[in-house]
Amino acid sequence: MRLTTKGRYAVTAMLDLAIHATQGPVSLNDISGRQGISLSYLEQLFAKLRRGGLVASVRGPGGGYRLSRECEQINVAEIVDAVNESMDATRCNRRGDCQDGHPCLTHHLWLDLSDQIHDFLTGITLQSLISRKEIQTIAERQDNRSGRIEAALREDEELV
From 85, 114, 132, the end of a domain falls on 85
pLDDT of residue 99: 85
pLDDT score recorded for residue 157: 64
- Residue 37, domain CATH: 1.10.10.10
* pLDDT at position 98: 85
95 and 118 within one domain: yes
Indicate whether 72 and 30 sit together in one domain: yes
The Cα–Cα gap between 36 and 40 comes to: 12
Q: What is the structure's pLDDT at 153?
A: 57
Range of the domain at 108: 86-124
Q: Which of the residues in the chain have pLDDT under 70?
A: 1-2, 147-160
pLDDT at position 91 is 82
Q: From residue 50, give the alpha-carbon distance in Å to each of 20, 40, 67, 121.
A: 18, 15, 9, 20
Tell me: do 77 and 114 sit in the same domain. no
